[in-house]
Structure formats: structure tokens, C-alpha cells
Amino acid sequence: MHKLIWLVVALFLYSGIARSETQKRNLIVDDVLAIKDVYDPQVSPDGKWIAFVVDVYNKRADEWNADIFMVPFGGGEAIRLSASEKEDNTPRWSPDNKWLAFKSKRGKKKQIYLLNRNGGDAIQLTDIRQGVEDFSWSPDGKNLALVIKDADPDENYEEEEDDAKDKTERPIVITRLQFLYDEYGFLKELYKHIYTIDIETKAMKQITSGPNDDAGPVWSSYTSTPQWSPDGKQILFVSNRTTNPDSNRNLDLFVIPAEGGEPKQLTTNRGTDENPVWSPDGKQIAYQTVVKPEMLWYEMKKMAIIPAAGGDPKFLTKELDRNTWQYSFSADSKQIYFVLEDHGTQTLASISTSGSEINRDLTGQKAVADYSIGPQGIALLAGRHDLPNEVFTFTNARTQQVSKINASALANVRLGTTARVEFKSKDGTHVEGFVTKPPDFDGSKNYPLILWIHGGPTAQYFEEFEFRSQIFAAKGYVVLRVNPRGSTGYGEAFCKAIFAEWGNVDYDDVMAGVDHLIKLGYIDENRMGVGGWSYGGMLTDHVITKTTRFQAAISGASELNYLMDYGADHYQNEWEVELGLPWEKPEAYTRISPFFKIKNVTTPTLVVCGKEDVNVPLVNSEQLYQALKRLGVDTMLIVYPGEPHTFYTPSYHKDRYERYLAWYGHYLKGEPDKAPKRSAQKP
């Protein structure tokens, strides 16, 4: 009798779960505007609160509106602290817990504002006509260090934007070797310097000067915020003070008296030393370094420490053979926390200052994007394949999710399942990746496949939430994301295997992944698509010149004719180091350029790029489109006005996904339209 009762109860519960699942829907393109971006967690000095930033879609302005929230460290309801229609970001606590300083463009340029934690309107602290780039608190909370770029003498900062548009612009005069950069445009002889400002009097003082960027140049991977010494007497910063900074990638650490004076150079490495942090006892500085600049981005980024008074550096992760970044000392100055990239994961790890022991994966979280250490524990920004980044805490060996910003957006959505896949490449190299399957996947059926290739090339797919894979899976595709050679997370030899050899072994690796899935029996090899953005688009160009196995391709922001790109994109230094000067070694460029094999392409290819992209200039997409059109290959060119390499206009994100789905849907599923239908209104 008891067994019968439990059987009835079990059937009732199961039917409830089944009904709940059937009521859920698959992901749709509009969800890209509903899912909010959560980032930059900051624990208050007393450890009771975590401030963070949330990007929300502003439909009226068609832009992302960033606001500052905070949540109790122990969990609870998140409190919204700012609510302007402009971007409020970079929240930083004052040492006394009372204030949050943040950046906001509520006027014409970004300024620093102060927000009382207990409520009230934000107070504008700075009024710099060219705006403020970055800032940090002094240990006593009485001053801020500011990063301010030189004012442009050709720009009238007092003009209204509409008035400025009606006037003829002045000619742009360029004299620098590094004269162009994505999102910055043409680079003039204007540099970032460090100032201090008194919170009470607003009195400012310039601390550094000269033809150098003193907070990391535009090409730096990270922003190196000036760091006050624990006693408040010095400011630590990074700068390239070589004779011609545009000709190399040499960054060194410097300290300067907080009252001003002569900077003291701490490191002399010819590579890049950046992202330094002081130990709480003020005796040591940890920083990220590369020591072989000739290896460019293929070298693993190491952790080093150096005495704050100067001396020889000590490399703590020299034997680790993995990228590390974002360093923070423990309160006793004996451990250094960092983000570790390893085999398709990003985890939080720590190492002793002696370098004798590494503690890997402190949290069980495989997709740690950011973190902040407080007196009660660590605040993490982390996600999963089925969860966009949220704020977690890690304390007493326990992880707890404390923000649920996207809970409502995903409450009724069924997501595809994602799993790791491993296989051997053509030459026997072990390769990994991830496969995302449709929510209703049935292993007895055959599915169309999309091979989506990551950019970089020195990057990796890891165990994070990826909207693109989920939206493809929601439409019935199996999505394969491979970490081919050139990817990080697998060591320097694996990464540098494509040095000056793009489109060869990495091509073998992604194709081996495709063959591996076909052997598993659920892929229809007559319905396969390939695509990618940036280097993912570049490798896509290689793929379609080498094989006709794909029925559709999407080439996003790709470079096609590398010989043409020298001087057109912002990688002049990298081209010279990897391939040489193009007039001296033109064959090095042409040998690996897909453009010169373009006659082999028969795959219908959608070509996409931002009009203002300087990272991978539009001219590449134009040449690819022109060549395919001339060859009679079905193609379409989509150009997004005003967009650099990374898109910022929300409706363009949506439009891009709609075009991806229409293109693949037409060629892989026989749908009638290869472009989304449009109303008379703007997207």
C-alpha cells in the first residue's frame, strides 16, 4: 500500500515537472536585449556589501545603460544605487566605506562622481573638459589619483554636438608611428598622465608629464590603474619611456612621489610589465609580465614580484605554462590570488609569494571573469554554460550566488546542453572544445552543424554562457566550438604553433572536430555551416578556400589580404614582428593570405563588418565580397554604420543574430529567406 502511494506521488511530481518544462520556450533573438550584462564586483572595505555594474537595454536611445547596484555580502536583495540614462560604471569604495566613486558621462565627457552608500543624489567631483580616463582612491580617502589625457587643441570642448556637426572639421595632422587604433581613430601627440585631486577642496595637481602614456597605451590588453602605496606616499604606474614608444611593446613599472617629483623605474624587461598591485605591507609589488616580445601574444603571461624599493624580479609562475592575470595579495601579504586560464576554464587560484605552491580552482567555478577580495571572503563574477555572469561569494570553502539579475529573463527559457569534447587532430595533437545541442536533442536523429570559430587567435572557449551558441541551438543546430592550436589555456607550444602559419594546423584542428562529431552519428554532413568573428572570420576564410564541405559560411570582421592590412589596421608592430616588413618579405604575407586562394571558394558566404572597424578594417570585407561576387558565389555584404570591431549598438546585435539565423536557415534547413524580413521601420 505504501509503495502504491509513493508511486502516485512520484507520478504526480513528475507530471508537474513535465508540464513546467513544456511551458518553457526556446531562446529567441530578442533575448539578447533582455539578458543583462553584470560585471565589476567590488567588496566594501568592511566586507558587508558588494557593488557591481549592470548593463540594461535602453530601447528609446538604442544603447546600453550601465547602472551601479550593491548587494549584501551574505545575500539578499540587490539595491540599485544609480539610475541615470548614461553609463555609470567603475564603482570604487572609499576606504571608510562611506562613498562610492564612479565614472559617468552625464555631461559631454566622463567625470568622477561620488555617491553616498546610504542614498542621495550623486555629487560631481571633477569637471575636466576632456574628461577622466581612470581613477583610484588614496589610502586615507582624502585624494584620488586621476588619469587624464592631454586636451586636444583642435577640439572645442564647449561646443554643443549639433553645432559642431554644422562646421567644417579641421584637417587631422598625424606624426606618430602608431597613428591609428580601433575605437580611438587617429592618434595625435596626446598622452595620458596622472593627476591627484583633493576630495574636499577639489584642488588638482599634475604628477606625470611628457610624450608617454602613464596608465597603459591604447594597445595594452588591460587598463593599468595607478596604484597608491599602502602608506599613501607613492603612486605606482606603468609607462613606455623608450625613445620611440610606438615602435615597441615595452611597458615598465614606475613609482613616483604622490606629491610629484622624478619617477623611479622599477623594471627593465624589454617586454610588457603591467597590471601591478602592492602587497598590503608595502614591501612587494606583483605584476604581469612577458619576457619574449618577439613571441607577441603567443607567449604565456607570467606573474612576477619585485621589491617595492627596487631590485631583481622573481617569476612565480615561470613553470606554470599558462596565462595568469588580475593579481591580489592576501591580507598577510603571503599569498597572491589570480585568474588562471587552463584547458577551457578560467578559475581562481593562488600562489605563495615564495612560488612554492599553487592552489588551483579555489571555488569550483570554471568561468571566473573577475573577483574582489574582502575581509569576509571573495566576491566572484562567474557564470556557467547555462548561466550568464552573476555575483557569487566564496567564503569558508563555500560558494553562494548573491545576485540574480537575469533570473526573470531566463526563468521560462529552455537552454541547450553544453559538454566538453576531446579528439585527435590530423597529426595526433590532442584538441578540445565544446558542443552545444538543441534543448530537445535526440541522439537518434541527424542535425545540421555550425562550426563557430573563436577570435584572437590567442583566446579560448571556456565554460561560460555564450548567447550565440544557445541561439543557434534553440533553432535546431548542433554547435561546435573548438580550441584549435593558437588558442590559449593549453600552453605556449600549443599557442605558438600558428606563429606566421595562420590557417594551417588550426584548420586541421577544427576540421578534426567536425569529423569527430560526424563519427558520433548525429550530424548531417550535408547540412554544415562555418563562421566566426575577427580571427574566427579569418580562419573561416581559410576554411572555405580549402574545402567545399560546408554549405554556408559567415565571415565576420575578417582580414583577407594581409599584405594590404599593414598600415590600414592598428597592428603595424605585430605584422613586423611576425611576418617582417611587407616590402622586404611580401611572400610571407601572400603565402598565408586567403585572398590569393579565393578562386577555390564555392560556399555561399555572408560577409559582415562594422564600418568604423580599425582592428580589422572594412576594406577586407569589401574585398572578400567583391571577389566572391565576381566569382559568382552567392554572397551578401552587411556593413553596420558607426560600429568599431566590438559592436555597441544593441539593435545591431539583434540584427546580426537575425541575419546569421536567416543565412544558415536558408542554406542548411531550406528556409525560403536568406535575410530577415524587414518592416519599414528601423531594426
Q: What pTM was estimated for this model as a whole? A: 0.93
- Which set of grid coordinates corresponds to residue 538? 579569418
> Is residue 555 situated within a structural domain?
yes
407 burial type by CB count under 10 A (0-12 exposed, 13-18 middle, 19+ buried):
exposed
> Is residue 564 situated within a structural domain?
yes
**Distance between CA atoms of 541 and 550, rounded to whole angstroms?**
12
Below-70 pLDDT ranges, the chain: 1-22, 159-166, 221-223, 679-683
Q: Are 147 and 194 in contact (CB under 8 A)?
A: yes
> Is residue 297 situated within a structural domain?
no
pLDDT value at position 164? 54
Range of the domain at 535: 414-669
- Which set of grid coordinates corresponds to residue 46? 568592511
Closest to 27 in 3D by CA, of 407, 406, 416, 408: 416
> Is residue 47 situated within a structural domain?
no
**Distance between CA atoms of 512 and 431, rounded to whole angstroms?**
9
Could you please report the per-residue DSSP string of 556-572? ES----HHHHTTTSS-H
Give 670's contacts (C-beta < 8 A, 6+ positions apart): none
**Sign, Cα dihedral of 648, 651, 653, 659:** negative
Please report which helix (H) or strand (E) contains residue 640, including its range: strand 635-640
**Distance between CA atoms of 292 and 298, rounded to whole angstroms?**
10
**Distance between CA atoms of 273 and 285, rounded to whole angstroms?**
12
Compute CA 298 distance to the chain's CA centroid, rounded to the nearest angstrom.
17
End-to-end alpha carbon distance in the chain: 62
> Is residue 49 situated within a structural domain?
no
> Is residue 654 situated within a structural domain?
yes
Domain CATH number, residue 647:
3.40.50.1820
Order of strands, edge to edge, in the sheet holding 63-72?
Answer: 37-43, 49-58, 63-72, 79-80
**Distance between CA atoms of 45 and 94, rounded to whole angstroms?**
8
> Is residue 6 situated within a structural domain?
no
Q: What is the number of structural domains in the chain?
A: 1
Q: Helix-strand-coil percent breakdown of the chain, rounded to 5?
A: 20, 35, 45
pLDDT value at position 223? 62
**420-459: pLDDT as tens digits:** 999 999 999 999 999 999 999 999 999 999 999 999 999 9
* Long-range contacts formed by 566-571: CB under 8 A, 24+ apart: 568/617, 568/619, 569/180, 569/614, 569/615, 569/616, 569/617, 570/178, 570/180, 570/181, 570/182, 570/219, 570/614, 570/615
Order of strands, edge to edge, in the sheet holding 88-93?
Answer: 88-93, 99-104, 111-116, 123-124
> Is residue 133 situated within a structural domain?
no
**537-574: pLDDT as tens digits:** 999 999 999 999 999 999 999 999 999 999 999 999 99
pLDDT value at position 677? 84
Please report which helix (H) or strand (E) contains residue 492, including its range: helix 492-495
Give 534's contacts (C-beta < 8 A, 6+ positions apart): 455, 456, 556, 557, 558, 615, 616, 645
